[in-house]
Amino acid sequence: VLAGFLWLIPKSLIFAFNNKIINIHPALLPKYGGKGMFGMHVHNAIIDNGEKESGISIHNVNEKYDDGAIIFQAKCKIGIGDTPESLAQKIHKLEYEHFPKVIEKWIFNKG
């Protein structure tokens, strides 16, 4: 289980642990994913582009950044007065609320 992991996992590990590595991303993938899209970079881009909603994505890890199958997403609205900082707070709330539950369900469903 990864959170805020900024490097690519070596292909040998991806293949050895196929569909057994998950990560959380602070946006609704596939938008705003990829190399360099983490933390405030994501929130700035979302606000700059005038998005009306954002959220979190929990996904399988593969050999590309933020490209694995999506396991779970949760959304939040973006208000007119929201800033990257206020969006980050909303995203953190979603992460704290959902990530532990999704991890638990994922682990026990995987056996």
**41: annotated active-site residue:** no
Q: Tell me the CB-side half-sphere exposure of residue 60, using CA atoms within 13 A.
A: 15
Whether the bond into 26 is cis, omega within 30 of 0: no
Give every CB contact of residue 72 below 8 A, 6+ residues apart in sequence. 57, 58, 98, 102
Strand partners, 55: 75
Considering 25, 59, 92, 98, which one is annotated as catalytic? 25
Specify the 3-state DSSP secondary structure of 73: strand
Q: Which residues are catalytic?
A: 25
